[in-house]
Amino acid sequence: MSVLPLKGLVVLEFSQYLSGPSAGLRMADLGARVIKIERPGSGEAGRKLSIKNLWADDGSSLLFHTINRNKESFTADLKNAEDLDKVKQLIRQADVLTHNFRPGVMEKAGLGYAEVRKLNPRMVYAEISGYGKRGPWKNRPGQDLLLQSMSGLAYTTGDAGKGPIPFGLSIGDSLCGAQLVQGILAALIRRQKTGQGALIEISLLESLLDFQFELLTTYFASGKQPQRSQVNNGHSLLSAPYGIYATSKGYIAVAMSDLQQVAKAVQCDDLLKYTQNDAFSKRDEIKQCIADHLLTNTAAYWQQQLLQAGLWAMEVQNWQQLVQLEGYRQLQMEQPLRMKDGSVRTTTRCPIRINGQKLFSPVPAPVAGEHNKTISREFLTSIIA
């Protein structure tokens, strides 16, 4: 593998749980040296955030390993003057610092941006909050489900007339981590030109509002809440047939398609009476017609009919089905991790390819404090001496 683009960069990660560590993971995949700064003993709080009681051999949760692989760990008590001095020495030599603590926490520890900038003017200081650092919500808990709920996102999923439905994963954390990396990379490019660091700020709420830009733009223009379909809702701004439909065996997703073409492809005479002008005004009625008809055969059959007609449709897969498919195997998305006890766990690799090469790394997440000696020898020579 040729030299990774971020090789040589040192990132100090004060982040915990998902959003901040996911940003560190991506930078580590791209070659950065990511050092987690953790509390002595227990490490960061995310080590105990379990996925269905799946734990690694070091007592950390498997979730922790999925987003902290390929990193190093340095433990320090920020309330201890000697440890804090060590951290400040690391800051003087690092390129990027990330944290996702509540507003004021890093400042209280003496590591807010103003203090860090004095230690290292070239530092790219990147922070994630729940709701921003100012305003009446700044101290509310920045947890993904709570942000999905109050940002309006939970009302984009599910059928009209039914309650709000959250995403089945922590979408806010993932988006926010990815956008933090974008900001960091932009700041690093500017630093290369000017020599100056930067303060990068993002919040979970801002990420989720940005995620809904289509719906919010429509709302700002009309003043009306976008309406979900009563039947097989897929996207509140899109007309029939857009949605997921049950069949006699399995489910099928049908995207934007001409109604007349769909009617001919699936041999549905009742659908022929509708024109494309009806696609939104009679959306629920049309979707119900399609839903009733697709129950007469299997998802595999309907997919074949629709694809042969050049229409956008795909059989809905669960993970057991997906991993058996050749298209999935060709992607080589599975990343084995060599755990400390010799066992192998599997997660997903970095999705980015560079010059045609996929990015793999079998290095698992570190044990808390695992690299204290190595990092001290390399960065803290004055203390050792």
Q: Hey, which residues are catalytic here?
A: 173
Which residues, including other chains, have CB under 8 Å from residue 268's CB and lie 6 or more apart? 262, 289, 290, 293
What DSSP letter does each residue of 290-324 carry, written as one string? HHHHHTTS-HHHHHHHHHHTT--EEE---HHHHTT
Give backbone dihedrals phi and psi of 375, rounded to 5 degrees, phi first: -70, -40
Structure tokens at 264: 């001919």
Spatial contact of 204 and 128, defined as CB atoms under 8 Å apart: yes
Q: How many residues does the chain have?
A: 385
* 3-state secondary structure at position 18: coil
Structure tokens at 352: 């980015």
* 3-state secondary structure at position 240: coil
Spatial separation of the C-alpha atoms in residues 209 and 133, rounded to whole Å: 17
